[in-house]
């Protein structure tokens, strides 16, 4: 009887631990991050520009109700622009600040069209961590960044389409 009770208790404990250790997966088919860019432009050589700064704004997840919806975003990074070829590549990090104050951190990289070329700078974004209720978050998705306008004060406006957004929380 004691053996049966110990085996039953062990099975229940294992089931409880397995259930609590499973991660919850979240998905959004698409979203958008509308941003304003602020930074410094360095002329390296004829037709070659290096921009270092940040993209900041708000993200929306098109109704999926993920952490991306209505979060403040800052993405420091760089763009290496070959204006003569109409191409660019870049990389950096992003910080989403949720209304709760929790944060989500990610790294990004892109390659493709130069700003104002009409072509996107495409790439992956990889979630690297989070704070508070977002601690232990993991995930990735693709983005397509477009610069829409440059302003007289040197800032730029644009947006990034997000697709295949998938992340898990422990």
Angle at 24 between CA 18 and CA 26, to 5 degrees: 165
Length of the chain as a residue count: 170
- 2 domain residue, yes or no: no
Report the CATH number at residue 49. 2.40.350.10
Mean pLDDT of 137-153: 95
Lowest average pLDDT, out of 38-52, 55-69, 104-118, 138-152, goes to 55-69
Paired tokens of 24:
């919850």
- 5 domain residue, yes or no: no
Number of domain units in the chain = 1
**What is the tens place of the pLDDT at every residue in 102-138?**
999 999 999 999 999 999 999 999 999 999 999 999 9
- 90 domain residue, yes or no: yes
- 102 domain residue, yes or no: yes
Whole-angstrom Cα distance, residue 15 to residue 17? 6
- Of 23 and 152, the structure prediction assigns the larger pLDDT to 152
Whole-angstrom Cα distance, residue 161 to residue 109? 14
Mean pLDDT of 47-73: 93
Whole-angstrom Cα distance, residue 112 to residue 22? 38
pLDDT at 29: 83
Paired tokens of 62:
């098109």
Helix, strand and coil in the chain, % to nearest 5:
15, 60, 25
CA-wise closest residue to 108 among 120, 130, 123? 123
pLDDT at 28: 83
- 16 domain residue, yes or no: no
Query: What share of the chain has pLDDT > 90, as a percent?
Result: 75
**What is the tens place of the pLDDT at every residue in 1-41?**
443 333 333 333 333 333 345 789 988 888 999 999 999 99
Both ends of the chain: CA-CA distance in Å? 37
- 14 domain residue, yes or no: no
- 15 domain residue, yes or no: no
Angle at 154 between CA 153 and CA 156, to 5 degrees: 110
Q: Write the CB contacts of 112 (distance below 8 Å, at least 6 apart in sequence).
A: 87, 88, 89, 119, 120, 121, 122, 123
- 4 domain residue, yes or no: no
Mean residue pLDDT across the chain: 87
164 lies in which domain range? 23-169
Partners of 149 in beta bridges: 157
From the DSSP assignment, how many helices (H) and strands (E) are in the chain?
1, 8
Helix (H) / strand (E) containing 11? helix 2-21
């Amino acid at each position: 009887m004691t053996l049966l009770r110990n085996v039953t208790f062990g099975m229940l404990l294992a089931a409880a631990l397995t259930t609590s250790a499973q991660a919850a997966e979240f998905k959004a088919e698409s979203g958008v991050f509308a941003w304003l860019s602020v930074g410094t432009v360095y002329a390296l050589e004829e037709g070659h520009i290096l921009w270092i700064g940040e993209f900041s704004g708000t993200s929306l997840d098109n109704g999926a109700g993920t952490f991306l919806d209505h979060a403040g975003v800052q993405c420091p990074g760089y763009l290496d622009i070959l204006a003569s070829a109409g191409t660019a590549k870049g990389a950096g990090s992003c910080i989403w600040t949720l209304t709760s104050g929790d944060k989500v951190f990610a790294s990004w990289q892109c390659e493709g069209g130069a700003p104002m070329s009409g072509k996107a700078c495409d790439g992956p974004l990889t979630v690297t961590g989070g704070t508070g209720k977002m601690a232990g978050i993991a995930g990735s998705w693709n983005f397509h960044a477009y610069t829409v306008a440059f302003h007289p004060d040197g800032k730029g406006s644009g947006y990034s389409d997000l697709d295949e957004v998938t992340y898990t929380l422990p």
